[in-house]
Structure 1
Amino acid sequence: MNMFDSSEFDKSTIPESTAEAPAETKRPFSIDDLVALVRDREESIFECAHARAIDPLTLRSQLLLHLPRLVTADRFPREHDIQQEVQAVSDFLEEIQRPYAKWLRPPERTITLDDLEFVSLDPEIAQIYHERLHYVGSYRPGWHYAFQEKNSGRIVCIGSVADFDLKHAQEKIAPHIELRYVSVLSRFFTFRWAPKNIFSYFHGKLRLQLMKERDTRLMFSFINPNLGFNASSHKGAHWTLFARESGTRYTYLDGRYRTMRFFVENYGTSDPVKLRERLGDSFIVSTIKLHPLELFAIPLQRRGRKAIPTEPHGPHIFRRPELCASIPAKSMVDRTETVLSRPPIPILPALAAG
C-alpha cells in the first residue's frame, strides 16, 4: 500500500547525489542513489506532471519502480536516460489518467475534514483508482471504502481491505488470533488537494467500520522504503512495525513494472526462474539491492495485541515466499491476450544494449 502523502517521502537518510556522481563511485549502486536522483529532480518532475495533467506522486513513484531495471553492476542511469524515462512514464500515465483528469483538479472551494462522509465504494470504481491513479497500477480485490464530499459526492481518498493472505506471516500470528479476524489494508490513494491528516482520519473511520462489519481484530499494511516512504502517516496513526521482509525485488514484463500477484494470476507462479523460462527476454528482474519491505500492524481490538511482537521480526527470518496459483485459470493465457492491453513502458535503447 502505500502512501502518496509527500510527507512520506523520506529525505533525511538519503545521501546527496548528482547525475554524474553515482557512476564514478567504486561502491555498488544502491536504491538510495536512485531515490536521491529522483529527489534532486522532484521540482521538474512535478512540473512535468502538472503540464501533463497527471498525478505528481504517482509519476515520482512510478519512476522509482522503473529506474531500478536500468541499473547494472557497471552502469547507472545518466541524465539523458532519466529524461527518456520521465518522458516514457509520463506518456503512459497521461494515457491512462486522461479520462479522469478532472478528478485531479482541485475543487473551487477548499474541502475540510468536516465536509467528508465515509462510504463503501463499488469494485468497478475502486478498480479505476487502483489501476489508473495508484502507483502500483493493479487492482486488488476486496472491500473498498472512500471519503467523499457530502454535497458533491466527489471522492477525496480511497482505501481497500483484503483478506489476510500473507502465508509467511501466518505462523507468527496463528498462536494468538484466528486468521479470519485479520485483514490487509492496501491501495490507499488520496488526491493532492485533500485535507491534511486525511490518512489518520480515514483509518479511524475504517477501523470502526471493519469492527462492525467483519469483527476485524488485526490489520496489516506494507510500506516500501525503496520509494522513499518513511511510514510517518502510519506511525502517526499508531501502527507498529511487525516485520522487515527480505527478498524484495522488482519484476518487469516488456519493460513495465508488474507485481508478484500479476504473475501469479496470469502465469501461475512468481518464481523468476520459471517465468524467465516461459517469457524469455521480455521478463526482467531488478538486480540492484533493495531495502526490505516493512510490514506494519495495528490491533483493532484488544484481542489482536498479543499477535504483535515487542520487537519486529527481522528479514533473516521473514522472507517473502515464491507463490503459485491454486487454479490455472489465467496462468495459461497467451501473453499477447488481455495481459498486455495497455502500452508497456519502453526500454531505453542505450541501456537495453548494455
Structure 2
Amino acid sequence: MGLARLWGVDRRALDVRTRLHLPAYADPDGQVSYPKAVTVVVSNAARLRKDQRAVRDLLPRRDYDLADLEFRQIGEEAERVFDSLHYLRNARRGSLNFALVDKNTGTPLTLCSASPLEWQRVADQLTRQFGVPKDAVWDLSRVYSFDGAPPNAVSYLLAQVRKYFQKRGDVQLLTTAVDPNLGFTGSSYLASNWQQWMTVQARPYLYYKRRYMSIREMRASFPSIRSIDALCEADKHATRSWAELADSLIFCCRIHGATERVRPEDQRRILR
C-alpha cells in the first residue's frame, strides 16, 4: 500500500486492519463505495501510526535475515506489541509468549502467544474425530511479524514453538484459527507441519464506535450481553457487518510425528 509508506506505518498491519474494518461499511453484497473505502484506509493508517508510537522503542530499524535472529520466550514486550499492533489489539493474558529476537538487542521481530485451548466446540470435535483430549491441546491465539522480519520468520518460529512443547511433554496438539477474510491463507502453517483439519462458521464482525470489537472484549465490557445482535439492539454505538464472510480455518499441528492431512470431504464444519 502506497498509503502505508505515506503514513509511515507497517504495510502488512495496515492491510489487515483495513480488511477488518471494510465490512463495517459494506452492503449485504459486500460492496463498499470508493469514498468509504478511502475513509477506512486513512482512519486505520492514523490509528496504526498512533499505536506504533506507543511501541516505538520496539520497531525494527532495518531488514533482518533469519541468521540475525534467535528464538526466545519473552514477556512484557510481547504484550505491548499485541496490545498495540495486532489487529485484535489485545494480548491474551496468561499466555506463553515466544519470539524471534535480534541476537544483539533482544528486540522481537516475529511473535506468537500460546495458551490452553478454550474453544469448547473445537475441543469437542478434536476429541470425537481425532481422539485428542482437551487438556492436551494448546492454541496459538496471536501471531505478529514486523515488516523487517525475513519472509520465512513465521514458519521458523512455529517450528521452534513445536520443539518447546516437545520438551514439555504434556501437550499433544497445537491449534490456531486462520481468518481468510483478512487475507490470511495459512501458508506459514503448512510450511511448518500444520494441516487444516476443520472450519468454523463465521460470525459477523462487531464494531463499537466504528472500531472492531472482539467477542472476548464484548463480554468483558458488557457482561449481561450474550450476542452481537443483542448488543447492536441495546447500544447505538454498536454495529455489525452484514456481508457474508468466509469460514475460519482451523489448522492443527501434532507435537510428535507428522501431522496428518485431512481430506476436504472429511473436514467438519462447526456451527456457531
Structure 2 length normalisation: TM-score? 0.89
- Structure 1 distance, partners of 2:169, 2:233, is 42
Residue 233 of structure 2 corresponds to residue 281 of structure 1: no
Unaligned runs of 5+ in 1: 1-45, 321-354
Write the letter of the residue equivalent to 1:121.
I
Residue 66 of structure 2 corresponds to residue 137 of structure 1: no
Write the letter of the residue equivalent to 1:272.
I
> Identity, % of aligned pairs?
23
**Alignment CA distance shift 1:257-1:239 (3 Å):** same
- Structure 2 distance, partners of 1:186, 1:216, is 16
- Structure 2 distance, partners of 1:52, 1:101, is 15
The within-5 A match list for 1:188-227 is 188-213=143-168, 215-227=170-182
Residue in structure 2 matched with residue 272 of structure 1 by the alignment: 228
- Structure 2 distance, partners of 1:172, 1:305, is 16
CA RMSD of aligned residues (A): 2.3
The Cα shift of 1:223 comes to 0.8
CA deviation digits over 1:7-58, x for unaligned, max 9? xxxxxxxxxxxxxxxxxxxxxxxxxxxxxxxxxxxxxxx2222232221111
Residue in structure 1 matched with residue 19 of structure 2 by the alignment: 64
Residue 76 of structure 2 corresponds to residue 120 of structure 1: no
Write the letter of the residue equivalent to 1:314.
R
Contact map agreement 1:248 1:291 (CA 8 A) in 2: no
- Structure 2 distance, partners of 1:214, 1:92, is 42
The Cα shift of 1:277 comes to 4.0
The Cα shift of 1:113 comes to 2.0
Residue 253 of structure 2 corresponds to residue 253 of structure 1: no
Write the letter of the residue equivalent to 1:120.
Q
CA deviation digits over 1:69-119, x for unaligned, max 9? 111248932222222222211111111211334543432xx5332332211
Write the letter of the residue equivalent to 1:271.
S
The Cα shift of 1:261 comes to 1.2
- Structure 2 distance, partners of 1:74, 1:208, is 44
Write the letter of the residue equivalent to 1:106.
R
The Cα shift of 1:309 comes to 5.1
Residue 116 of structure 2 corresponds to residue 160 of structure 1: no
Residue 140 of structure 2 corresponds to residue 185 of structure 1: yes
Match of 1:174, SS?
Answer: helix
Residue in structure 1 matched with residue 8 of structure 2 by the alignment: 53
The within-5 A match list for 1:1-354 is 46-73=1-28, 76-101=31-56, 103-107=58-62, 111-122=64-75, 124-141=76-93, 142-175=95-128, 176-213=131-168, 215-268=170-223, 269-278=225-234, 280-302=235-257, 311=264, 312-315=266-269, 318-320=270-272
- Structure 2 distance, partners of 1:87, 1:196, is 27
Return the index of the structure with the highest Cα Rg.
1
Aligned length: 267
Unaligned runs of 5+ in 2: none
- Structure 2 distance, partners of 1:52, 1:214, is 46
- Structure 2 distance, partners of 1:258, 1:157, is 24
Structure 1 length normalisation: TM-score? 0.70
Match of 2:24, SS?
Answer: helix
